[in-house]
């Protein structure tokens, strides 16, 4: 048998080893790349925070505050199949499920929590909301609509003007009226930012009570008031400045303003700026010559107007008479918007009369619930 040359054998072995070694290196590189690709998201994505009993208690307290502000009560408390606490909440007649849904959503904003799931059942008139953070459901609310055919005498939206200068027992007492109401805060007043925060935390809807030029009265230019003939940029700057002073505002209503709301060109500029910011407008109707709601309709801005002034006269007798007028208006037209002021007599009459109004079938709503319909 013929012997092979050792050099030839070595050359042959090397020819086999090189492809094998190259293949192993390529496989190693591919494994390393795959490992890096899969590991990067895990390294860059923060782990979800550990939600504890303290988070649940904070969520419960916030939801309780929202329910109190809308005169809602827990009908039952139970656990879901997943072991999450569920509250059954019966809505009063005249409160649609979407309105309750919106109120709860807004209440959760202060916690940076949210509604992470919603499941409606039109057959039995319920809406189930899963509340929590990210993908962690900590509380379930089952909203139960009022039975069809339940009589509602009328819906009332109550606006209380002139908050902002002080925060004391009287101001806080408006939050305990047991109804949803809208609080109007004047910018530039001593404690307007703090007061707006307290009212919002207590469940009130906030309006910017924007100063505007009246007829037949010389007013000091405080850097906020809007006057007829102002440029578009000046109006924009003043509204922006005022909104910084009144956080949480969902809309705007005029403080004074008979001249501005009657001046088409100026109120057009004002309403366009409000519209651009996604707010709504309430015309306080300080002049019969106002064109504000007409202009708002032209530009597609959600708007309503005041129907009754409760306390033009600061006496309990007069306020009760105006409440009677408010009832008649709401019963005749289905809805009525009233404006009162942060005064002792107004508070006292409302404390006494609101329970009677509820018994008579009147339902209280935030202004935003009326302008969105």
* List of domains in the chain: 53-144 (3.30.460.10), 154-371 (3.20.20.370)
- What is the distance between the alpha carbons of residues 124 and 127, in angstroms, rounded to a whole number? 9
Pick from 64, 58, 68: nearest CA to 141: 64
- pTM for the model stands at 0.67
User: How large is the C-alpha radius of gyration of the chain?
Assistant: 31
- What is the distance between the alpha carbons of residues 281 and 222, in angstroms, rounded to a whole number? 22
| Three-state DSSP class for residue 278 | coil
Sheet holding 126-133, edge to edge: 74-79, 85-90, 136-144, 126-133, 114-121
Instruction: Name the DSSP class of 48.
Output: P
> Which stretch of DSSP H or E encloses residue 87?
strand 85-90
| Three-state DSSP class for residue 279 | coil
Residue that is written with structure tokens 């109007």 in the block:
184
Q: Are 164 and 186 in contact (CB under 8 A)?
A: yes
* C-alpha count within 13 angstroms, C-beta hemisphere, residue 320: 9
| Three-state DSSP class for residue 63 | helix
How many CB atoms are located within 10 Å of the residue 187 CB?
Answer: 26
- What is the distance between the alpha carbons of residues 357 and 41, in angstroms, rounded to a whole number? 58
Block means of pLDDT (10 residues each) for the chain, length 373 residues? 51 54 64 51 46 81 83 76 84 77 82 83 80 85 74 92 97 93 96 96 94 92 95 97 96 97 98 96 97 96 96 96 96 94 97 94 90 64
- What is the distance between the alpha carbons of residues 106 and 131, in angstroms, rounded to a whole number? 12
Q: Residue 188: which region, alpha, beta or left (left: phi > 0; alpha: psi -120 to 50)?
A: left
Across 327-351, b (16+ Cβ under 10 Å) vs e yields bebbeeeebbbbbbbbbebbbebbe
């Amino acid at each position: 048998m013929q012997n092979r040359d050792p050099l030839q054998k070595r050359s042959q072995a090397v020819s086999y080893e090189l492809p094998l070694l190259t293949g192993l290196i390529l496989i190693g590189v591919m494994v390393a790349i795959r490992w890096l690709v899969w590991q990067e998201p895990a390294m860059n994505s923060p782990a979800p925070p550990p939600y504890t009993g303290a988070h649940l208690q904070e969520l419960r307290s916030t939801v309780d505050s929202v329910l109190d502000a809308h005169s809602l009560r827990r009908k039952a408390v139970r656990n879901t199949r997943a072991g999450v606490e569920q509250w059954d909440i019966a809505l009063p007649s005249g409160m649609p499920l979407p309105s309750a849904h919106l109120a709860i959503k807004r209440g959760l904003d202060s916690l940076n929590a949210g509604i992470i799931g919603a499941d409606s059942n039109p057959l039995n008139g319920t809406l189930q909301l899963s509340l929590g953070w990210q993908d962690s459901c900590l509380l379930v609310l089952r909203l139960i609509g009022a039975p069809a055919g339940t009589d509602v005498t009328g819906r009332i939206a109550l606006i209380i003007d002139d908050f902002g200068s002080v925060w004391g027992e009287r101001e806080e007492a408006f939050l305990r009226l047991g109804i949803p109401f809208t609080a109007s805060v004047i910018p530039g007043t001593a404690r307007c930012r703090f007061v707006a925060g307290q009212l919002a935390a207590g469940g009130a809807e906030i309006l910017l009570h924007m100063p505007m030029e009246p007829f037949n009265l010389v007013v000091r230019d405080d850097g906020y008031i809007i006057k007829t003939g102002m440029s578009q940029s000046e109006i924009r700057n003043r509204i922006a400045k005022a909104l910084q002073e009144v956080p949480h505002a969902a809309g705007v209503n005029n403080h004074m303003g008979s001249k501005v709301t009657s001046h088409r060109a100026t109120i057009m500029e004002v309403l366009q700026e409000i519209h651009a910011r996604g707010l709504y407008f309430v015309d306080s109707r300080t002049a019969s010559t106002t064109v504000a709601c007409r202009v708002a309709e032209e530009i597609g801005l959600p708007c309503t107007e005041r129907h009754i002034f409760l306390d033009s006269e600061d006496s309990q007798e007069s306020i009760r008479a105006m409440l009677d007028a408010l009832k008649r208006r709401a019963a005749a037209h289905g809805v009525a918007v009233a404006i009162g002021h942060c005064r002792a007599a107004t508070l006292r009459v409302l404390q006494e009369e609101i329970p009677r109004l509820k018994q008579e079938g009147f339902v209280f709503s935030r202004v935003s619930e009326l302008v969105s319909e």
